[in-house]
Amino acid sequence: MKTFLDPRTKAVAGLCTNAVRDLLGKGVREVRAHRTVSSVTSVACAAIIGASIMGAAPVVKPAMNETLAAAPAGVENEQVLLRGSTSGSYFWDDGSGRLGDTGQPAIGKPMQQGLFASPSWPLGTEGYVIYNGRRAKFFIGDRGPGTPSSDGVMLDIDGKTFADLVGASWNPDTLTVGSSQGHIPVEYVVTKWGDGPGKRGTPVPFSSGAWSSS
C-alpha cells in the first residue's frame, strides 16, 4: 500500500527542504556558524511534518492484487429454486439390457455420470446433492425410482456418482457399487427447472403420473 501526503503537509515539507538546502549552500565557515540553526531547523521540520501526518488521515490506495484477495473465494452465484432432503438409490441404464437395465434414458442422451432419475421433476432439471459433506451436480435425464418412490426414495443417482458419494468403487461389469449401501439420505438443491415433461416442486411418487405433465 502507498501513503500519500495531503497538500498542507507537502507545502510544509517543501519549505523545510528549501531552508535546509539554503544552509547547505553556504560556505564551510557559515555552515559551521549555523550548525546549531541547521540542526534546530531540521528537528523542527521533522516535528512539523510528523504532526501533519498524524493529524491528517493518509489516503490509502490498495494495490490490484490486494483488491482481488479481498474477494470471497469459491462462492458461486446460483439461484436456489428448491431445497430439501430425500433418500437416494442408484442405477445405470445404458440400453444394453443387462443386469436389470431398462433401456436408454428418457431424455434421449446416453447414460453418463451426473444423469439422475426423478419420479416427477421435469426432464432437464439441474441441481446438486450433498451427502456427508460431498457434493455432486446432476441433471434429470430419466424416470425413477418406480415403486420405491412411494416409500420416499425420490432420487435415482447414477452408479458412478453414488460410488463417489459413499467413497466406494464402481464396477462397470456388474453395474454395482462396492458398498453395502443401496440407499443414502441426501440433501438436494434445484438450481434450474428443465423444459421437459414433469412437475416442478417437491418430488412426488412415480405412481402419481406427474412425470408425464407438460
- Boundary of a domain, candidates 40, 70, 100: 70
pLDDT at 7: 52
Residue 110 has pLDDT above 90, yes or no: yes
CB proximity list for 75: less than 8 A, separation 6 or greater: none
CA distances from 112 to 22, 95, 195 (A): 83, 12, 20
Q: Minimum mean pLDDT among 9-18, 65-74, 79-88, 121-130: which range?
A: 65-74
**Beta strand pairing call for 126-131 and 184-192:** antiparallel
115 and 11 in a common domain: no
By three-state DSSP, how is residue 144 classified? coil
Q: Kindly give the interhelix angle for 35-55 and 7-24, rounded to the nearest 10 degrees.
A: 170
136 and 194 in a common domain: yes
97 and 168 in a common domain: yes
For residue 76, tell me if it sits in a domain: no
Q: Are 170 and 90 in contact (CB under 8 A)?
A: no
Give the model confidence (pLDDT) of 12-29 as tens digits.
Answer: 445 444 544 553 444 434
66 and 87 in a common domain: no
- Boundary of a domain, candidates 70, 105, 125: 70
- Please give the distance of CA 83 from its chain centroid, rounded to a whole number: 18
102 and 31 in a common domain: no
Residues spanned by the domain of 22: 2-70
The residue ranking higher by pLDDT, 37 or 86, is 86
Give the model confidence (pLDDT) of 156-167 as tens digits.
Answer: 999 999 999 999
109 and 26 in a common domain: no
Q: Which three cell numbers stand for residue 97?
A: 439390457
123 and 46 in a common domain: no
pLDDT at 214: 79
Residue 5 has pLDDT above 90, yes or no: no
Q: Minimum mean pLDDT among 76-90, 131-145, 155-169: which range?
A: 76-90
195 and 97 in a common domain: yes
- At 100, which CATH number? 2.40.40.10
Q: How many domains does the chain have?
A: 2
CA distances from 195 to 51, 56, 73, 211 (A): 69, 61, 32, 12
Residue 73: which pLDDT band, with cuts at 50, 70 and 90? very low
- Boundary of a domain, candidates 27, 45, 70: 70
Whole-number Å distance between alpha carbons of 179 and 166: 8
For residue 75, tell me if it sits in a domain: no
59 and 154 in a common domain: no
Residue % of the chain over a pLDDT of 70: 64
